[in-house]
Chains A and B, each alone.
Chain A
């Protein structure tokens, strides 16, 4: 196996090649929900495993050898380095190929890419994290970053909803946060047919009844399917949230991750460079954003 370092010395023309994946080993596969597995990766290049740093909200380009490459949000927090965790839903050709791999199989990783959440700007403020379904994947990085640097933030509120209890991602660790007194962890499901759910039952926006939010000193990070944006944005705007304090993480088709291939452009911004975190103000000014 040639590591990217050796490849670079052999090909001086391409020594600084942003398209070069670095091989990483799948060290753990955890089935969080049907077709929503959490893959834990560790770089083969030991120095990369130690030095790779990302911002919450950034993503990687993940190569499944023989299948292709895809953009995936990083779900682990930079405050817990050494491994990378990515939550992958099985939806297409490349994700299906990833699901055929097992522990100790190799994948390619390059990145991190994208702007990430404006952590510096958010420090000292309240955080409201609102996610639906798979939207928890990028927010989980921000959540643990904030909890690991608890002194840098004021009140922290998480609102997370899924259709059924069994769909909830990171279920065990989030349930363990419900009892924490230094944050308000609100979890809800649309329906609980088996009657096993001990938390809220109801649509995500109903959680606003259980949270106290001061829009002028809060940053809201929202992520989810379009329906989540629609209803959460309605709630936030009704609270007179400043539009540049609403942060959205967007999904787009990407081939390069580095602002060349053109697929992820929205209006005149590249999701991979100026995003994937955009403010609601950006969204209003960029056509076809949501």
Chain B
């Protein structure tokens, strides 16, 4: 992999060069929090952000997306608006890139999702490393580093950003910037290693994911699910802010006074009451306890069976978003805890 470095003061110069490759989006501040948004000017970008409210999945799987439109004389015709729009996402954290790599696998496979894939192809990702805060547990989820899925990835090494060039497009961005980038020296590499070591020690949360699937099976009947079910409001906030929650609902909206309409998909959540309900009224996950159990189960156990790893990347968003303070790390801790039955 090509590895270069960029003097920090030159980042704004690089950002202006990169705009020729697409519309520049980055985290900006909004009411004390951060959101990915189109930049009006580079100075808006906040690259030392903790986490954005919504993950970058909103670019690849928009919260509402028209799939097809129907006209009685035309039949079903796909909607392609926005699919070819070129965007540069500047400042994506490793866990979020990792999450996009997970979505890549979900939206590929035997049935490729061409809407997702078209957006993925046209949206460039420039990653940036970060300092873990009290809600980050990406290291436990093996998502604190990514080795692919980005075009460029910047590591802060003090006076420089050390840049991994992930794709040919990333290389083109480097080349387009003329001689902004420099070769790395062994001193730079040492500086990187020092910072990597410090980052490792900065994590305050830890989850052990080995044999977690087995523990989920053993604790399937645990009373913890009943307790969580009584606490959970089924608001679905955790799903909306989750970088790997991809469930969607599909609805046909008919234009008034005609038989024409649009088929739209929109974000859904397995916590919503009707998620597993069929037309006859039967609901395969009716009780709230069974819905919240399913969410945990699918993230931490089901996904392992399907894709070889949990779909959780440890970004900590669901911990901030939950209005009743359901904390995924605490839940996993409790599942792992030895229940000293004799002393009860």
A interface, CB within 8 angstroms of B: 1-4, 7, 11, 13-21, 23, 63, 65-70, 91-95, 106, 108, 251-253, 255-256, 258-263, 265-268, 273, 287-288
**B249 interface residue (CB < 8 Å to A):** yes
Contacts of B75 in A (CB 8 A): 1-4, 7, 21, 23, 106, 108
B67 to chain A: which residues have CB within 8 Å? 19
In the complex, 24 of the A-B residue pairs with CB atoms within 8 angstroms, ordered by the A residue number, are A1-B73, A11-B80, A13-B80, A13-B84, A13-B114, A14-B80, A14-B83, A15-B114, A16-B114, A65-B72, A65-B261, A68-B252, A91-B279, A94-B279, A108-B76, A252-B284, A253-B276, A259-B106, A260-B113, A261-B265, A262-B246, A262-B268, A268-B305, A273-B110
Contacts A69-B263, A252-B284 given; indicate if A268 touches B298 (C-beta within 8 A).
yes
Whether, in the assembled complex, B111 has its beta carbon less than 8 Å from a beta carbon of chain A, the answer is yes
Q: Is the CB of A259 within 8 A of B259?
A: no
CA distance A278 to B247 in the complex (A): 23
Query: With A256-B250, A266-B284, A268-B306 given, can you name 20 additional A-B contacts, CB distance below 8 Å?
Result: A1-B73, A2-B75, A4-B75, A4-B76, A13-B83, A18-B113, A18-B114, A21-B75, A66-B261, A68-B252, A92-B279, A94-B279, A108-B75, A253-B274, A255-B249, A259-B106, A260-B107, A261-B247, A263-B276, A268-B304
From known contacts A20-B76, A260-B248, infer whether A267 and B111 are also in contact, taking CB-CB under 8 Å: no
Q: Are B112 and A16 in contact (CB under 8 A)?
A: yes
Residues of B participating in the A interface, judged by any CB pair closer than 8 Å: 67-68, 70, 72-78, 80, 83-84, 106-107, 109-115, 118, 220, 246-252, 254, 259-261, 263, 265, 268, 270, 274-280, 284-285, 290, 294, 297-298, 301-306
Q: Across the interface, do A63 and B110 meet the contact criterion of CB distance under 8 Å?
A: no
Instruction: Report Cα–Cα, A268/B296, bound state, in Å.
Output: 11
Residues in B with CB closer than 8 Å to A263 are 247, 249, 268, 275-276
* CB–CB B114/A14 < 8 A: yes
B270 and A262: CB pair below 8 A?
yes
B252–A11 touching, CB < 8 Å: no
- A288 — which chain B residues lie within 8 A by C-beta? 284-285, 290, 294
Contacts of A267 in B (CB 8 A): 297, 302
Q: Using Cβ atoms and an 8 Å threshold, which residues of chain B touch A18?
A: 111-114
What is the CA–CA distance of A168 and B285 in the complex, to the nearest angstrom?
30
Q: How many A-B residue pairs have CB under 8 A?
A: 145
Chain A residues with CB under 8 Å of B250's CB are: 68-69, 255-256, 261
B245 — nearest CB in chain A belongs to which residue?
A262
- Which B residues are in CB contact (< 8 Å) with A265? 294, 298, 302
Of the residues B84, B106, B285, contact of A260 by C-beta under 8 Å = B106
Question: B68 contacts A19, CB within 8 Å?
Answer: yes
**Closest residue of B by beta carbon distance from A64:** B252
A266 CA / B249 CA spacing, docked (Å): 17
Taking a contact as CB atoms under 8 Å apart, the answer to whether B78 and A268 are in contact is no
Give the CA-CA distance A253 to B290 in the complex, in Å: 16
Bound together, the chains give a CA A256 to CA B114 distance in angstroms of 13
Residue of A nearest to B290 (CB): A288
User: In the complex the two chains form, is B76's CB within 8 Å of A7's CB?
Assistant: yes
**What's the nearest-Cβ distance from chain A to residue B216, in Å?**
10
What's the minimum C-beta distance from B87 to chain A, rounded to whole angstroms?
16
Q: Are A261 and B302 CB-contacts (below 8 A) given A19-B68, A91-B280?
A: no
Name B118's contact: one of A13, A108, A259, A260 (CB within 8 Å): A13
Which residue, B115, B252, B268, B303, has most C-beta atoms of chain A within 10 A? B252
Chain A residues with Cβ under 8 A from B220's Cβ?
287
Which A-B residue pairs are the 4 nearest by beta carbons?
A268-B302, A92-B279, A262-B247, A258-B111
Chain B residues with CB under 8 Å of A268's CB are 297-298, 301-306
Q: How far apart sit A112 and B70, CA to CA, in the bound complex (Å)?
A: 21
Complex Cα–Cα for A218 and B77 (A): 46
Q: A13: which B residues are within 8 A, CB to CB?
A: 80, 83-84, 114, 118
Which one of B76, B109, B275, B303 lies within 8 Å of A21 (CB-CB)? B76
Closest to B248 in A: A261
Report chain A residues within 8 Å CB of B276. Answer: 252-253, 263
Please name all residues of chain A whose beta carbon is closer than 8 Å to the beta carbon of B68 when the two chains form the complex. 19-21
Contact across chains for B115 and A95 when beta carbons are under 8 A apart = no
Q: Using known A-B contacts A2-B74, A18-B112, determine if residue A253 contacts B278 with beta carbons closer than 8 Å.
A: yes
* Across-interface contacts of B260 in A (CB, < 8 A): 66
A66 contacts B254, CB within 8 Å? Answer: yes
Bound-state Cα–Cα, A21 to B252, Å: 13
Task: Determine the chain A residues whose CB is within 8 A of the CB of B297 once the complex forms.
Answer: 267-268, 287
CB distance from A19 to the nearest CB of B (A): 5
Residues of chain B with a CB closer than 8 A to A256's CB: 248, 250
User: B113 near A252 (CB under 8 angstroms)?
Assistant: no
CA distance A260 to B268 in the complex (A): 12
Q: Output the least CB separation between B71 and chain A (Å).
A: 9
Asked, given contacts A265-B298, A268-B303, whether A260 binds B246 with beta carbons under 8 Å apart, the answer is yes
B53: min CB distance to chain A, Å: 22
B77 touching A2, Cβ below 8 Å: yes
> Closest B-chain residue to A289, C-beta based?
B284
Contact A260 B111 (CB under 8 A): yes
Q: Which residue of A lies closest to B239 (CB)?
A: A262
What separation, in Å, do the CA atoms of A4 and B77 have in the docked complex? 8
Which of B220, B248, B251, B304 is the most central at the interface, judged by chain A CB atoms within 10 Å of its CB?
A: B248
